[in-house]
């Protein structure tokens, strides 16, 4: 469920960058403070382990298909939430860098969806409560299944929210939820099975390895959970109201241009409106403008005004647009070839 | 993820270590410009296509200057496409408002936005891949740290990257063992899977322990020191300012449309 850049608005992407960046900084501080020296190489190796583990599949009992570990929960069981969150974030970053698996703008969203929920919700609030550190027992199997399913469901649901708030996909909210949640229910069960199988093996083969995690007494504070959820709630509320109040929202706006109708039927307008109302009631910064928080949000500012009145159905404009677009593409290719030729020539010249 | 993917990472690593005009640019400059690029591209309205075309210049220029094989980047973009494709394809289904007719063929708003999504996908993924291929993980890590990313996280990234190949090797060996001993089925029973992955995990942890001891013996004090260049050269400034000016211009005016107007002679 790695989200791609092409479906995310800079606002949503930037906001979740800020949230995930904040969580990374928070976890980095925590890890540094509690640093046992060998934690650093251990974190690095376990990140690499997750990559390697994803190459190996197992057959899912009772079905013809196969699945693999995706890793958030097992990392948290082995390392504890703070270190695990950093490892998950680093794995996602490397995946984005080298496999184009989830984009750079979407990286904040992906880290939040796949890191925050297993590390700060599923593990402390579900796995530890049910399993009570009795790794390898049926109890722990149940715990792993429930925790993995809940973690992935929350992640999948926030994928839907983020995509919806971006307003680029026109998939209706209900359909999207119905599409994502059942799939991730299955993925969650697989993840739970794989996690429990590996953990129970390790519990038998080398129980002390599982004590890498913070000891049973050191409970996880709820602070990052509360902070993370609060920030996200504010971000989401703010976003929705921004779309719902300033412009009707990209989609509705362009449709109203085409059809002359103001309202778009369906649940989406309702959700927007309700959330916007809720946000208005609870807003503590009523005229909260979108302030650039990161370097990448800067473009959103000079980009925000003057959307082209599309589609101005004017034959001249459309034709010139098409011709111009094609010509631009051709030009870009030419420039590319020229630059490459020159660069190679230079390199030979230097030899 | 198959074994071929690992070879791919190795390829990316090789590309990142080349020495070309694009590689010599400061990692921070490239990282910032790429993020701004993605932000600007995604800030266009839903149905925009022609105004986006000039933006292709950035990844293409980076790839060309960096002498990165375009075919390699294109292949990676294609491999990554399914998610955007699966979500994007619903736009034509949901939005059937006709917006134009070409001959007898009616173009709906949904198809326009779908094409726009896929084009943006190529742009953003292309730019990100170009950034990594023209920078390499180590330079990128150093740059990120200078930009204020927490040290612990940068170290984690570099450690992860360094161990990737090592642990992957173990995984590949294990899979080869499994394949030789099984009747060609690649998926394992859960019990076998648990102990196999468990072993991989324990082996990796042992290795981490050994590496750690070796590092301590060589004076490791908890920090990786990365070679970094702290100053921005003129060429870096030129690159940043030039790119940002271009993005701004292309965002404010539809350059492709302008070119089209010029060509079709509608402009007086």
A301 — contact with chain B (CB < 8 Å)?
A: no
Does the beta-carbon distance from A332 to B60 stay under 8 Å? yes
CA A311, CA B99: separation in Å to the nearest integer? 7
Poorest-pLDDT segment among A306-315, B58-67, B76-85:
A306-315
**CA-CA distance, A174 to B63, in Å (whole number)?**
41
How, if at all, do strands B105-108 and B98-102 pair? Answer: antiparallel
Q: CB within 8 A of B103, min separation 6: which ones?
A: none
* Nearest by Cα to A52 from B152, B253, B172, B103: B172
Q: How far is the C-alpha of B50 from the C-alpha of B39, rounded, in Å?
A: 17
| Interior angle at CA B210, CA B209 and CA B212, nearest 5 | 65
Among A residues 143-182, those touching chain B with beta carbons less than 8 Å apart: 163, 167-172, 175
pLDDT in tens, B109-131: 888 888 888 899 999 999 999 99
Three-class SS of residue A101? coil
Q: Establish if A308 touches chain B: CB-CB under 8 angstroms.
A: yes
Q: Do A194 and B109 make contact, defined as CB atoms within 8 angstroms?
A: no
Residues 172-231 of A with CB under 8 A from B: 172, 175, 193-194, 196-198, 200-202, 205-206, 209, 212
CB A148 within 8 A of CB A195: yes
pLDDT above 60 for A157: yes
For residue A85, pLDDT over 70 is answered with yes
Q: Do A47 and B187 touch (CB under 8 A)?
A: no
- Residue with tokens 């993820």, as numbered in its chain: B1
**How far, in Å, CA of A311 to CA of B88, rounded?**
20
Residue-wise pLDDT for A129-155, tens only, equals: 888 878 778 888 899 999 999 999 999
Among A61, A90, A316, whose Cβ lies nearest the Cβ of B156? A90
pLDDT at residue A272 is higher than 70 = no
Q: Are A104 and B53 inside 8 Å of each other by CB?
A: no
Contacts of residue A253, Cβ cutoff 8 Å, sequence gap at least 6: A247
Secondary structure class of B140 (helix, strand, coil): helix
CA distance B233 to B250: 26
Q: What is the CA radius of gyration of chain A?
A: 24
Q: What is the mean pLDDT of residues B58-77?
A: 89
Pairwise CA distance, residues B68 & B46, whole Å: 31
Instruction: Give the closest residue to A74 by CA, choosing from A210, A219, A221, A223.
Output: A210
Cβ partners under 8 Å of residue A319, min gap 6 = B260, B264
A255 pLDDT tier (thresholds 50, 70, 90): very low
Q: Kindly state the average pLDDT of the residues A5-17.
A: 87
Average pLDDT over residues A275-298: 40
Give A283→chain B minimum CA distance, Å. 25
Distance CA B21, CA B238 (A): 13
Query: Is A55–B137 a contact, with Cβ atoms under 8 angstroms apart?
Result: no
Give A113-126 as a DSSP string. IIIIIIIIIIIIII
Confidence band, pLDDT 50/70/90 cuts, at residue A276: very low
> What's the average model confidence in pLDDT over A95-100?
82
pLDDT, residue A41, reads 80
pLDDT at B66 over 70: yes
Mean pLDDT of B52-63: 91
- Rounded to the nearest integer, the mean pLDDT of chain A is 72
Beta bridge partners of B188: A58
- Tokens representing residue A307 in the block: 């959307």
> Are B139 and B16 within 8 A, CB to CB?
yes
**Chains A and B: how many Cβ contacts under 8 Å?**
421
Query: Average pLDDT in the B212-222 region?
Result: 81
A250 pLDDT exceeds 60?
A: no
Rounded average pLDDT over B197-221: 85
Neighbours of A314 (CB within 10 A): 10
Per-residue model confidence (pLDDT) at position B32 = 92
Mean of pLDDT values over A314-322: 61
Q: Which residue of A has its CA nearest to B204?
A: A45
What is the SS3 assignment for B100?
strand
What average pLDDT does range A201-220 have in this prediction?
65
Q: How far apart are CA A45 and CA B215, in angstroms?
A: 14
- From the candidates B45, B84, B184, which should be mutated to test the interface with A, based on the most A CB atoms within 10 A? B45
Residue B208 to residue A13, Cβ atoms within 8 A: no
- For the whole model, what pTM was predicted? 0.77
Contact A312/B51 with Cβ under 8 angstroms?
A: no
- When pLDDT is averaged across residues A256-285 and rounded to a whole number, the result is 44
Residues of chain B in contact with residue A197, where contact means CB-CB under 8 angstroms, are: 190-191, 193-194, 197-198
Whether residue A319 is preceded by a cis peptide bond, meaning omega within 30 degrees of 0, is no
- Backbone dihedral region for residue A136 (phi beyond 0: left; psi -120 to 50: alpha; all else: beta): left
The segment with the largest mean pLDDT, out of A191-195, A286-290, B177-181, B241-245, is: B241-245
pLDDT at A147: 92
**Pick from A54, A198, A254: CB nearest B198:** A198
| Residue in the block written with tokens 């030419």 | A334
User: Is the C-alpha dihedral spanning A231, A234, A237, A239 positive or negative?
Assistant: negative
Residues in Cβ contact with B90 at an 8 Å cutoff, skipping those fewer than 6 apart: A169, A170, A171, A175
Taking alpha carbons only, the member of B100, B108, B127 closest to residue B42 is B127
Min mean pLDDT across A63-67, A172-176, A257-261, B183-187 is at: A257-261
| CA atoms lying within 13 Å on the CB side of residue A76 | 32
Structure tokens given for A140: 């722990």
Rank A170-174, A275-279, B37-41, B216-220 by mean pLDDT and report only the highest.
B37-41
More confident residue, B217 or A298: B217
Which of A285-294, A326-335, B4-13: highest mean pLDDT? Answer: A326-335
Place of tokens 């070119």: B259
> Among all residues of chain A, which has the CA nearest to that of B34?
A296
Interface test with A, best of B13, B193, B249, B267 (most A CBs within 10 A): B193
Nearest Cβ partner for A329 among B56, B100, B158: B56
Residue A323 near chain B (CB below 8 Å):
yes
Q: Provide the pLDDT confidence category of residue A187 given band limits of 50, 70 and 90.
A: confident
Greater model confidence, B192 or B268:
B192
Please give the pLDDT value at position A207.
81
Confidence (pLDDT) at A136: 77
- Which residues does B112 contact at the CB level (< 8 Å), separation at least 6? A311, B47, B49, B99
Q: Would you call A315 exposed, middle or buried from its count of C-beta atoms within 10 A (0-12, 13-18, 19+)?
A: exposed
Q: How far apart are CA A194 and CA B6, in angstroms?
A: 23
Question: How far is the C-alpha of B152 from the C-alpha of A28, rounded, in Å?
Answer: 6
- How is residue A112 annotated by DSSP? I
Q: Band of the pLDDT at B253, cuts 50, 70, 90?
A: confident
Name the minimum distance, in Å, from the CA of A308 to any CA of chain B. 8
Q: Is B100–A311 a contact, with Cβ atoms under 8 angstroms apart?
A: yes
Contact A24 B150 (CB under 8 A): yes
């Amino acid at each position: 469920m790695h989200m791609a850049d092409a479906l995310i608005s800079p606002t949503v992407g930037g906001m979740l960058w800020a949230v995930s960046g904040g969580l990374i900084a928070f976890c980095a501080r925590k890890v540094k403070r509690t640093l046992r020296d060998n934690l650093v190489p251990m974190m690095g190796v376990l990140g690499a382990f997750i990559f390697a583990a994803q190459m190996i599949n197992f057959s899912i009992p009772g079905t013809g298909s196969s699945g693999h570990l995706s890793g958030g929960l097992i990392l948290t069981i082995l390392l504890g939430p703070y270190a695990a969150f950093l490892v998950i974030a680093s794995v996602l970053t490397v995946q984005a860098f080298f496999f184009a698996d989830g984009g750079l703008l979407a990286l904040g969203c992906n880290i939040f969806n796949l890191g925050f929920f297993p590390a700060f919700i599923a593990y402390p609030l579900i796995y530890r409560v049910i399993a009570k550190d009795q790794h390898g027992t049926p109890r722990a199997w149940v715990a792993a299944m429930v925790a993995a399913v809940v973690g992935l469901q929350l992640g999948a649901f926030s994928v839907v929210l983020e995509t919806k708030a971006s307003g680029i996909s026109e998939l209706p909210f209900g359909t999207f939820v119905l599409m994502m949640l059942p799939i991730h229910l299955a993925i969650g069960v697989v993840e739970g099975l794989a996690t429990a199988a590996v953990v129970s093996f390790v519990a038998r083969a080398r129980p002390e390895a599982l004590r890498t995690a913070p000891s049973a007494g050191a409970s996880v504070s709820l602070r990052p959970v509360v902070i993370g959820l609060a920030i996200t709630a504010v971000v989401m509320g703010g976003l929705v109201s921004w779309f719902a109040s300033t412009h009707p929202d990209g989609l509705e706006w362009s449709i109203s241009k085409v059809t002359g109708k103001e309202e778009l039927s369906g649940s989406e307008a309702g959700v927007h409106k309700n959330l916007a109302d809720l946000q208005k009631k609870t807003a503590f910064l009523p005229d909260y403008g979108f302030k650039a928080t990161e370097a990448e949000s800067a473009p959103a500012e000079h980009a925000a005004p003057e959307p082209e009145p599309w589609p101005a159905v004017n034959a001249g404009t459309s034709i010139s647009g098409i011709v111009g677009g094609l010509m631009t593409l051709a030009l870009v290719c030419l420039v590319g070839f020229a630059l490459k030729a020159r660069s190679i020539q230079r390199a030979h010249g230097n030899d | 993820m198959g074994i071929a993917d690992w070879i791919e990472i190795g390829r990316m690593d090789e590309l990142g270590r080349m020495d070309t005009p694009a590689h010599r640019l400061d990692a921070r400059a490239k990282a910032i410009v790429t993020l701004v690029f993605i932000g600007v591209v995604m800030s266009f309205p839903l149905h925009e296509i022609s105004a986006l075309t000039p933006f292709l210049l950035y990844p293409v220029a980076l790839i060309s200057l960096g002498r990165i094989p375009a075919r390699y980047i294109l292949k990676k973009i294609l491999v990554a496409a399914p998610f955007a494709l699966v979500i994007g394809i619903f736009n034509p289904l949901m939005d059937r408002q006709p917006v134009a007719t070409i001959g007898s063929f009616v173009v709906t708003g949904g198809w326009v936005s779908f094409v726009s999504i896929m084009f943006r996908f190529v742009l953003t993924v292309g730019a990100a891949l170009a950034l990594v291929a023209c920078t390499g993980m180590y330079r990128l890590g150093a740059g990120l740290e200078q930009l204020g990313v927490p040290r612990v996280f940068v170290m984690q990234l570099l450690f992860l990257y360094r161990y990737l190949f090592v642990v992957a090797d173990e995984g590949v060996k294990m899979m080869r063992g499994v394949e030789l001993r099984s009747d060609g089925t690649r998926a394992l029973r859960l019990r076998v899977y648990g102990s196999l992955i468990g072993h991989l995990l324990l082996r990796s942890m042992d290795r981490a322990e050994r590496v750690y001891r070796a590092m301590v013996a060589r004076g490791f004090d908890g920090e990786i020191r990365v070679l970094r260049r702290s100053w921005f050269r003129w060429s870096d400034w030129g690159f940043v300012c030039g790119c940002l000016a271009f993005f701004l211009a292309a965002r404010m005016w539809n350059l492709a449309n302008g070119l089209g107007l010029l060509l079709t002679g509608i402009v007086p």
